[in-house]
Structure 1
Amino acid sequence: MSLKPAVLREAPADAPSMKKALGPKLAKQYAVNPNVAKYSFVLKFPDGVVTGRAVSRALGKIPTPRGPTLLAGMTFTVEAMSAAKADGCDVVAVHEYFWTDASYAAIRQSI
């Protein structure tokens, strides 16, 4: 399953703009960051589990240096959250997901 995100540029960081950008389900989870007036990039991942590899690949394709970045998706693995935080990104997720990339891959193999 490809988790290629939709990329939005120069998105205002207010709640009404994020509702338009992210949709109602993800917008409910969005909390305004008082230090950010506008996100340079918003990466909205499709429904599913976002792995560390997907986050690293997506962030690697965005030009650097970049301004504030927001990642949005249904669920992120532990490695995905670590990669996002290490890169200084804000994250919006519907579910807390405490599995690692390896444990998620193992579950996917058994299906």
Structure 2
Amino acid sequence: MGLKPAIMRDVPADVTSMRKVLGQKLGKQYAANPNVARYAFVLKFPDGVVTGRVVFHALGGIPTPRGPMLLAGQHFTVEAMDLAKAEGCERILLD
């Protein structure tokens, strides 16, 4: 099963916009970052476990230089979280 994310560009970082983009479940987990007014890219992964390999491939398809990015999904492996952190991405995941 592929976990190719939906990629949205130029998304306002307010709660209302994020709930529209991420859906109700993930949108509830979003807390606005006062340092970000707009995300250059929001990557929403389908339900399932997101591995480091999937994150690596997803980020490889995004042009550089990159602005603020947000990754959203149900479950991320430790490797996926570390890679996202190294790339400066914010993360939203379900509890």
TM-score of the superposed pair, with normalisation by structure 2: 0.98
Cα distance in 1 between the residues matched to 2:59 and 2:31? 21
- Which one-letter code corresponds to 1:87 in the other structure? E
What residue is the counterpart of 2:47 in the other structure?
Answer: 47
Partner of 1:7, secondary structure, is strand
The runs of 5 or more residues in structure 2 that have no matched partner are: none
Question: Quick one: higher RCO (CA 8 Å, sep 6+), 1 or 2?
Answer: 2
Match of 2:77 in 1: 77
Letter in 2 for 1:83: L
TM-score norm. by structure 1 comes to 0.84
Give the whole-Å Cα distance in 2 for the aligned partners of 1:59 and 1:16. Answer: 25
Shift of 1:2: 0.1
Matched residue type, 1:16: T
Q: Which amino acid in the other structure matches residue 85 of structure 1? A: K
Distance 2:80 2:30 in 1: 18
Instruction: For residue 27 of structure 1, report the CA deviation from its aligned partner.
Output: 0.6
> For this pair of structures, how many residues does the alignment match?
95
1:3 maps to a residue whose letter is L
Partner of 2:14 in structure 1? Answer: 14
Runs of 4+ residues over 3 Å off in structure 1: none
**Structure 1 counterpart of 2:28:** 28
1:31 Cα offset (Å) = 1.1
Residue by residue over 1:50-84, the C-alpha shift from the partner in whole angstroms, topping out at 9 and shown as x without a partner, is 00000010001000011000000001000000000
- Equivalent residue, structure 1, for 2:93: 93
Larger-Rg structure:
1
